[in-house]
Amino acid sequence: MLSKSQAKVFFLGGTAVFFLIFLGLSWHSMSIAVPKQTHEENMTEAVVRGKVIFDENNCMGCHTILGEGAYYAPELTEVVERRGEGYIKAVLMSPIPWAPRGRKMVAYNFSEEEAKDLIEFFTWIGNMDLNGFPPKPDLKQN
């Protein structure tokens, strides 16, 4: 059985140790793991412009990216791999609303440069090491 003072020392010591572990893991994540997994060296001005366009047009209001956002429209994390640049460019530059499978996408009528910037952003996102996200569907028949 611990006395009050021993319990206090045990509690404060344990708190300090785990706080130091937390700081070490946070430092590791922010300075080593995140830049390595996101391939931050590949972030160009076009990627940044694409992210700005993505945010300004509230694309997350309908789409998800990296698992975040709304679930009305398709997930965009690996959209370049799934659909290809030509398809994405056609959708983004379309002057008429896009309505595949009954879900209507606003006709943003982006310029070619804006569409290229968005594709660069999607390509950068798709090349991140996301530890297996999004999972690939198992299409085997059991």
For 2, 18, 21, 22, 31, the CA distances from 8, given in Å and listed in that order, are 9, 15, 20, 21, 34
| Cα–Cα dist 79/98, whole Å | 16
In this prediction the pTM is 0.76
Does domain 43-126 fall under CATH 1.10.760.10? My reply is yes
The per-residue pLDDT string of the chain (142 residues; one tens digit each, 9 = 90 and over) reads 889 999 999 999 999 999 999 999 999 988 888 788 878 888 899 999 999 999 999 999 999 999 899 988 889 999 999 999 999 999 999 998 888 777 888 899 999 999 999 999 999 999 988 877 777 777 776 6
Q: 88, 85, 94, 75: which is closest to 137 by C-alpha?
A: 75
Q: 73, 53, 77, 51: which is closest to 63 by C-alpha?
A: 73
Which residue ranges make up each domain of the chain?
A: 1-38, 43-126
